[in-house]
């Protein structure tokens, strides 16, 4: 019985990681296959370097996902700046999303969550939002720090709760697990346009750089 439970847990872990790899992999494919400048203009060295830099960062993200799986968060938590992590997620999502992706950060918001775990949680929400919104839709991402807590809110113009592809349920389950481990909350509701609005709230800590 114990071996059966271990095998089932391993399969669930593997399934979650494979699911999470979808966003950075899609972004890498989009960057790699992006059309070169039109006739008469070659791609500038700085453009090529930026494209390669983004692909390298996304590859590092995939490496992190493969290494963390669903391990418990250690007692001596790393800290991460929510704004930096969310910006990475937004840039990755924008590489393969044909709709409008709006990004509204506030000041620095440091939380006691390892960057890889936070990127995983936020990445799933943004991935779900872009899938729901579709090529003609929009996604709005906001970060705020209010009274000792930092929150990330993702709203989309999709069809609304319960009307998105089944893959989103696995992504939200992973996000909820990460948030619960860190003493945060996950709120799922409807946005002003009728689409979904998802908010992660996490306890913030003093910025170690200050």
204 in Cβ contact with 111 (< 8 Å): yes
Least confident stretch, 31-35, 37-41, 188-192? 37-41
109 in Cβ contact with 83 (< 8 Å): yes
Q: Dihedrals φ, ψ of 145, to 5°?
A: -125, 120
pLDDT computed for residue 205 by the predictor:
81
Confidence of residue 46 (pLDDT cuts 50, 70, 90): confident
pLDDT computed for residue 154 by the predictor:
94
Q: Which of residues 1 and 24 earns the better pLDDT score? A: 24
Confidence of residue 109 (pLDDT cuts 50, 70, 90): confident
Taking CB atoms within 8 Å and a gap of at least 24, the contacts of 175-180 are: 175/120, 175/121, 175/122, 175/124, 175/125, 175/200, 177/70, 178/113, 178/117, 178/118, 178/120, 178/121, 179/121
pLDDT computed for residue 5 by the predictor:
43
Show me where the domains of the chain are located: 2-203
pLDDT computed for residue 114 by the predictor:
84
How far apart are the C-alpha atoms of 179 and 4, rounded to whole Å?
Answer: 28
- Render pLDDT for 122-166 as a digit per residue (tens, 0 to 9): 988 998 899 889 998 999 999 998 888 999 999 999 887 766 554
pLDDT computed for residue 17 by the predictor:
61
pLDDT computed for residue 35 by the predictor:
65
Confidence of residue 115 (pLDDT cuts 50, 70, 90): confident
Q: Which residues contact 130 (CB under 8 A, 6 or more apart)?
A: 93, 96, 97, 99, 101, 139, 156
Q: For residue 167, is pLDDT > 80?
A: no
Q: Which of residues 3 and 112 earns the better pLDDT score? A: 112
Asked: is 2-203 a CATH 3.30.565.10 domain? The reply is yes
Q: Which of residues 94 and 17 earns the better pLDDT score? A: 94
Q: Which of 104, 15, 117 is nearest to 61 (CA)?
A: 117
Q: Which of residues 174 and 155 earns the better pLDDT score? A: 155
The answer to whether the predicted template modeling score (pTM) of the entire model surpasses 0.85 is no
The distance from CA 198 to its chain's CA centroid, rounded to whole angstroms, is: 12
How far apart are the C-alpha atoms of 114 and 103, rounded to whole Å?
Answer: 22
């Amino acid at each position: 019985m114990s071996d059966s439970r271990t095998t089932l847990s391993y399969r669930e872990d593997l399934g979650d990681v494979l699911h999470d790899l979808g966003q950075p992999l899609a972004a890498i494919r989009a960057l790699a296959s992006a059309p070169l400048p039109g006739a008469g203009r070659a791609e500038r060295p700085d453009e090529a370097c930026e494209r390669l830099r983004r692909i390298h960062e996304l590859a590092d993200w995939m490496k992190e996902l493969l290494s963390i799986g669903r391990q418990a968060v250690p007692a001596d938590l790393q800290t991460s700046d929510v704004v930096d992590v969310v910006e990475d997620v937004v840039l990755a999502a924008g590489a393969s999303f044909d709709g409008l992706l709006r990004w509204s950060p506030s000041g620095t918001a440091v939380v006691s969550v390892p960057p890889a775990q936070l990127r995983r949680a936020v990445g799933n929400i943004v991935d779900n939002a872009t899938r729901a919104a579709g090529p003609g839709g929009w996604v709005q991402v906001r970060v705020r720090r209010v009274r000792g807590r930092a929150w990330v809110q993702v709203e989309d113009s999709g069809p609304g709760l319960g009307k998105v592809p089944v893959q989103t349920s696995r992504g939200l389950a992973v996000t909820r697990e990460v948030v619960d481990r860190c003493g945060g909350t996950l709120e799922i509701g409807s946005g002003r346009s009728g689409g979904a609005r998802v908010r992660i709230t996490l306890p913030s800590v003093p910025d170690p750089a200050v």
